Every structure is written in C-alpha cells, then in structure tokens.
Chains A and B, each alone.
Chain A
Amino acid sequence: MITHEFELKLQAYLDGELPALEAAEVEGWLARDQEGQALLAELRNTTKALSAAGEVEVKLPETREFYWSKIAREIERQDREPAAVAPKLSWFAWVQRHLVPVSGVALLACLLAVMLVHSEKSSSQFGETELASEDMGSYTFRDQQQKMTMVWLYDRNDDSQFTDPTAVASMDQE
C-alpha cells in the first residue's frame, strides 16, 4: 500500500521537482514496486494527454469593436475618477490628513486624564461635609445622661431663626 506522502513524491518525480538524491530513491523503489509503476504510468499518461492535445481554442464571443469600446469606456471612467477622489496632497493637506487625527486623539486623552484626576478628587470628598461658609455658625451640646450630642447650625446674618444659645444659657443662669 502506497502512502499519500509517497504518492506526492512520485508525482514530484514525474514533474522533475525532486532533488537528485530523492529522485534516485524513488527510482530504486519503483524498480521493486509494481503498484508504484502503475500509478506513475497513469499520472504520466494524463500529463502526456494534456500536453499533446493542448487546450481547446476558445474565441471571445464579442466583436473586436464592441469588446474594445467597453474597455476604453472603463479606462476613461477610471482615469477621471482618481483625479476627483485623490488630488495631489499639498504639505498643509498632508499635515491636516496625518497630524490632525493624532492631535485629536491626544486632546481626547488629555481630557480623559483631567476628568479622571477630578473624579478622584471629588470621590475623596464624599462622606465629609465642610462648612466653609463664613455666614454659618454652629453650637454643640453634649448630654452625658442621655448619651446624646446635639449640633445647632445657624445663619449668622439671620437673627429671626435662632436665638444665640449662649444668650439663652446666660439668661438661665440669671
């Protein structure tokens, strides 16, 4: 039984595509193997038949004028097209074409970086409330028995909402 690898080697031998050493090996093997000889004869007959007969002469089924007119029209069309689509690039156009997209990407990257830094800052402030306003005041009261702390927030400019607790305290003491 011939392996496929050897079948291909046999064919390469027939086509003259084997190195001399391998070709000699194949010849030695062929001398002893009838199956190989028969396969080589079949391959050789087919190849001979193809080269002896050549190809069937096929004629173009169109007249010379009609065939050429279609080719000429297409050449004309394609010659016009590239000029409209791709004019020769000036230096400025080259910069525009190649650097503008790059700078756009760089700008986008910068914006993202700024947003990232900003979002980190703002996230670190969560959970803390700072009363930075100068108009806001606060008082704290701690009741040890109730274990309770009370915080008063008040508007320093609005006297109507809260009464100053220190004033209340002093009043009580009086």
Chain B
Amino acid sequence: MKIKDHSAASDEQLVGAAKRGDMRAFEELVARHRDKIYARAFSMMRNEDEAVDLSQEAWVKSWQRLKQFQGESSFGTWMTRIVINLCLDQLRRRKRQRTESIEEMNEESGGVERQMPVVNVNPTEGLERGELRKKIDAALGQLSHEHRTALVLHEFEDMEYKEIARVTGCSIGTVMSRLFYARRKMAVLLANLRTEELK
C-alpha cells in the first residue's frame, strides 16, 4: 500500500514503505527521530561534529539494514541501538590510539573516587528541573567516556548490566565497577557544581 500523506503515517507504516524502497518514507522517519538520535550520539561523544557525523552514519546504516528490522522494538529504540554501537566503535578506536594515562588506569579501580567520603547532600533538593538538567549535563561532561557510557546506557537507555556488558564488550564486573564509580563521581560533581557556574 502506497502512503499518500507521509507526515500523517505511523512509524510502522513508514518503515514498511521504506523497506519497499520508498525514500520519502525514510526521509520522514529521519525527520521524526533525528533529534533523539543526534542527542544520544552527543551524550556519548560530547562533541557536536562527531555526533552529527555518527548520527548520519547511523541513518545510512539503518537504511541498509532496514529489512532486518522486524519490529521487536520500536523503530526509535532500534535506531538508538545503531547509533550507540557506532559511538562505542568510535570510542574504542579512540582508546586504541590514546596512550595509557593514569586516569585510564584508574577507570576500573576507581582512582580518586575510591577515597571519596560519602556525599550526604541530595542534589535534587531545591532545584527546578531545568536547573537540575543543566547541572547533570555539566557533570556528565566531566566524566570519562567509559564512566559516562555506563551511566547513560543504564540510566537513560534502561539497559541492564548484562546488556551493557554485551554492547560495550566488557565483563559484567567491569560494567558494575564503572557504573559505581560514575555514580560516586556524579554525586560529588552535583554537590560541588554551583548553579551560578551553569549560567
């Protein structure tokens, strides 16, 4: 069945049409989900240009693999997995090029976070949602890629430990460790970041 009004069609209808080669349907899917896909790439890479490139690459890949999409999840979720995998590949390539730093060596063992006293302040107290978001975003920007990835996948993509381990190619123990230190570091950063610094 041919789609007459692409903007009024559901994602499922657009995916079906795109599978039959309807580029206009695919363009509509890109328009609907582009911000979300770009945002995920940006949250992992923290670099605008890289995020744009990787999100575009994800769309090209999804067009090529569209026939493999059987609708087990929503199209948006499927697309997000593609961009996450591309970001992880890019981060792995970058890590291979990078010389081993003290920070990197401390990623699993916790480094400074291991010695940090427990933070008793609740970072959500007395803050509006917008302010809190900015604070969280600024704190996320200060984490290492490994810690941020673990946190983003667990907290924003609702992935379980074993799923994170599978997509990142790490052991469950490593994932748990990274997530633990990422949370501990976030607690300190959220407590220390003053609202004025975010403006």
Interface residues of A (CB under 8 A from B): 4, 7-8, 11-12, 15, 17, 35, 38-39, 41-43, 45-62, 64, 67-68, 70-72, 74-75, 78
| Distance, CA A53 to CA B133, complexed state (A) | 5
On whether the beta carbons of B123 and A46 are closer than 8 Å, the reply is yes
Asked if B42 CB lies within 8 Å of chain A CBs, one says: yes
Chain B residues with CB under 8 Å of A59's CB are 35, 38
One of B38, B122, B176 near A60 (C-beta < 8 A): B38
Contact check, A68 vs B27: say whether CB atoms are below 8 A apart.
yes
From DSSP, what is the main secondary structure of chain A's interface residues? helix
Q: How far is A68 from B122 in the complex, measured between Cα atoms in Å?
A: 43
Shortest CB-to-CB span from A2 to chain B, Å, is 10
Instruction: Give chain B residues whose Cβ lies under 8 Å from the Cβ of A46.
Output: 123, 183-184, 186-187, 190
- Least Cβ–Cβ distance between A115 and chain B, in angstroms: 44
How far is the CB of B195 from the nearest CB of chain A, in Å?
13
In the assembled complex, the CB of B105 is this many whole angstroms from the nearest CB of chain A, namely: 16
Nearest A residue to B136 via CB reads: A53
With A64-B31, A67-B56, A71-B30 as known contacts, state yes or no: A56 contacts B124, CB within 8 Å: no
Partner of B124, one of A4, A8, A49, A62: A49
**Complex Cα spacing A78 to B57, Å:** 12
- B38, B39, B59, B122: the one within 8 Å of A55 (CB): B39
Taking A60-B38, A61-B48, A62-B52 as contacts, is the C-beta distance between A67 and B30 under 8 angstroms? Answer: yes
Interface centre among A15, A17, A45 (most CB of B within 10 A): A45
Bound-state Cα–Cα, A22 to B123, Å:
29
Confirm or deny: B120 has a beta carbon within 8 angstroms of a beta carbon on chain A: yes
Residue B23 at the A interface, CB < 8 A? yes
B173-189 near A? 1/0 per residue, CB < 8 Å: 10011011001101100
B64 contacts partner chain A, Cβ-Cβ < 8 Å? yes
| Known contacts A46-B187, A55-B137; is-contact A72 B27 (Cβ 8 Å) | yes
B20 to chain A, nearest CB (A): 15
Contact B35 A45 (CB under 8 A): no
Is there contact, CB below 8 Å, between A64 and B34?
A: yes
In the complex, are the beta carbons of A41 and B156 less than 8 A apart?
no
Q: How far is the CB of B15 from chain A (nearest CB, A)?
A: 16
Other-chain contact of B180, A11, A70, A78 (Cβ < 8 Å): A11
**When each residue 7-40 of chain B gets 1 if its CB lies under 8 Å from chain A and 0 otherwise, what string results?**
0000000000000000100010011001100110
Please indicate which of the listed interface residues B30, B52, B121, B180 has the most CB atoms of chain A within 10 Å of its own CB. Answer: B180
Which residues of chain B from 138 to 196 have a CB within 8 Å of any chain A CB?
A: 151, 154-156, 160-161, 173, 176-177, 179-180, 183-184, 186-187, 190
Q: How far, in angstroms, from A59 to B42 measured CA to CA in the complex?
A: 10
Cβ contact within 8 Å between B43 and A52: no
**A71 and B190 in contact, given A11-B180, A42-B118, A53-B136 (Cβ under 8 angstroms):** no
Nearest CB of A to B40, in Å: 9
Q: Which residues of B contact A49 (CB under 8 A)?
A: 122-124, 132, 136, 190
A56-B137, A61-B48, A71-B30 given; A38·B124 CB < 8 A: no
Distance (Å) between the CB of B178 and the closest chain A CB? 11
- Once the chains are docked, how many angstroms separate the CA of A35 from the CA of B132? 27
Chain A residues with CB under 8 A of B199: none
Q: Which 6 A-B pairs have the closest CB atoms?
A: A58-B39, A53-B132, A56-B137, A60-B38, A38-B118, A53-B133
What are some 16 contacts across the A-B interface (CB < 8 A)?
Answer: A4-B110, A4-B177, A8-B173, A42-B119, A42-B183, A45-B187, A46-B183, A49-B122, A50-B136, A50-B156, A52-B132, A57-B39, A58-B42, A71-B60, A75-B23, A75-B63
